[in-house]
């Protein structure tokens, strides 16, 4: 059977059907392997074509084939020079004018605004986390018999399907969009997100300690506390830190719709076309979020007992950086 003289269709037919019975076992196996490889390539190409069509369709839906946005391109490049105002350092080195950012940080008291954003995220997380633990536990089949545990899982699913921005809108009648409603929104969101993660953690705990505690004649709440919760304390703290990270970002987003903190500054500067100030605020948000992320990651890696980079002290992290970079470049 010579492949180049056969049509594609014939090459796709199983060998037993295309009259090659006289071939040796090795030749048959070879033909079969070739056929499989061809099939795999065809299906891979088909998949790529599908993804391509999906991309074109979604770009179309998003309005990318209209020409207006291209016309605005010069405005965007103009804005870029305001986002990153250039300056000459020592009359020699051109770079972004960091001084103007710093000036805005000080004048507007961004540290205080960041405090409000952080407070919203922290309060929301601390209020939501115990409730998430409660819902996560009640959603476990060992605690609440099937199908009643799905009542709690369902509540968490519904909470999750509503973004925290929308939760803030729901809480608006409680006094408009304010840090209070933002905190409530983030707390609610935390129940759904963290509760879901804890449900997964609870699925994977050992039966041993639960049985051990049961065998002592402990009551059901005691079995849950000592047999189950003790096993998820570390994952609970770790996930709560992760959720706190997300909540700081959400709190910035809620600020944009007026809930206070850095988000408010951001939207004011944007609406008054003070793009340099806006970028200064964004950079401050980056600093805030990265700080929270670093603390959160270090806490989590400590809880995991990892022996990796994340456990280095801040000093080692900075001083040892060139060495570690050269090492990873040489790898």
Strand, coil or helix: 88: strand
Question: How many Å is the maximal CA-CA distance in the chain?
Answer: 88
233 lies in the binding site for another protein (CB under 8 A): yes
230 lies in the binding site for another protein (CB under 8 A): yes
29 lies in the binding site for another protein (CB under 8 A): no
C-beta of 115 vs 212, nearer to another protein:
212
C-beta of 99 vs 208, nearer to another protein:
208
- Segment interacting with another protein, rule: CB under 8 A, options 7-15, 117-125, 136-144, 204-212: 204-212
C-beta of 178 vs 231, nearer to another protein:
231
- Segment interacting with another protein, rule: CB under 8 A, options 20-28, 80-88, 168-176, 211-219: 211-219
CA distance 134 to 257: 31
Contacts of 258 (CB under 8 A, 6+ apart): 176, 177, 264, 267
Interface size with another protein, residues (CB under 8 A): 20
Q: Minimum CB separation from another protein for residue 217, in Å? A: 3
306 lies in the binding site for another protein (CB under 8 A): no
CA distance 128 to 242: 13
- Segment interacting with another protein, rule: CB under 8 A, options 54-62, 212-220, 239-247, 272-280: 212-220
Binding another protein (rule: CB under 8 A), the pick from 7, 217, 271, 307 is: 217
C-beta of 68 vs 204, nearer to another protein:
204
209 lies in the binding site for another protein (CB under 8 A): yes
Let me know: does 102 contact 277? Beta carbons within 8 Å.
Answer: no
Let me know: does 189 contact 120? Beta carbons within 8 Å.
Answer: no
Neighbours of 228 (CB within 10 A): 19
The answer to whether the Cα torsion of 42, 43, 44, 48 is positive or negative is positive
C-beta of 221 vs 322, nearer to another protein:
221
CA distance 206 to 56: 48
CA distance 283 to 31: 60
Q: List interacting residues with another protein (CB under 8 A).
A: 208-209, 211-219, 221-222, 225-227, 230-231, 233-234
């Amino acid at each position: 059977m010579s492949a180049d003289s056969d049509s594609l269709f014939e090459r796709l037919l199983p060998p037993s059907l295309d009259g090659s019975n006289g071939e040796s076992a090795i030749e048959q196996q070879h033909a079969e392997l070739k056929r499989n490889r061809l099939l795999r390539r065809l299906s891979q190409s088909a998949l790529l074509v599908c993804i391509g069509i999906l991309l074109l369709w979604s770009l179309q839906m998003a309005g990318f084939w209209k020409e207006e946005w291209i016309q605005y391109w010069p405005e965007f490049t103009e804005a870029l020079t305001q986002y990153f105002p250039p300056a000459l350092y020592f009359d020699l080195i051109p770079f972004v004018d960091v001084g103007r950012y710093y000036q805005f940080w000080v004048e507007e008291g961004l540290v205080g605004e960041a405090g409000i954003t952080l407070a919203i995220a922290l309060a929301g997380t601390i209020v939501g986390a115990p409730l998430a633990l409660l819902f996560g536990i009640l959603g476990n089949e060992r605690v609440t018999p099937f199908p009643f545990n799905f009542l709690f899982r369902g509540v968490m699913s519904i909470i999750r399907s509503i973004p925290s921005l929308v939760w803030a809108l729901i809480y608006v009648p409680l006094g408009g969009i304010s840090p209070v409603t933002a905190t409530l929104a983030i707390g609610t969101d935390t129940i759904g997100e963290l509760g879901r993660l804890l449900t997964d953690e609870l699925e994977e705990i050992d039966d041993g300690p639960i049985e051990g505690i049961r065998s002592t004649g402990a009551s059901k709440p005691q079995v849950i506390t000592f047999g189950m919760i003790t096993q998820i304390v570390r994952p609970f703290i770790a996930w709560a830190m992760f959720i706190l990270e997300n909540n700081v970002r959400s709190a910035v987003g809620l600020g944009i719709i007026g809930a206070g903190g850095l988000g408010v500054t951001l939207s004011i500067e944007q609406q008054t076309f003070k793009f340099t100030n806006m970028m200064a605020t964004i950079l401050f948000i980056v600093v805030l979020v990265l700080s929270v992320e670093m603390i959160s990651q270090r806490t989590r890696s400590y809880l995991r007992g990892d022996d990796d980079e994340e456990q280095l002290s801040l000093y080692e992290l900075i001083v040892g950086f060139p060495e570690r970079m050269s090492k990873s470049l040489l790898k």
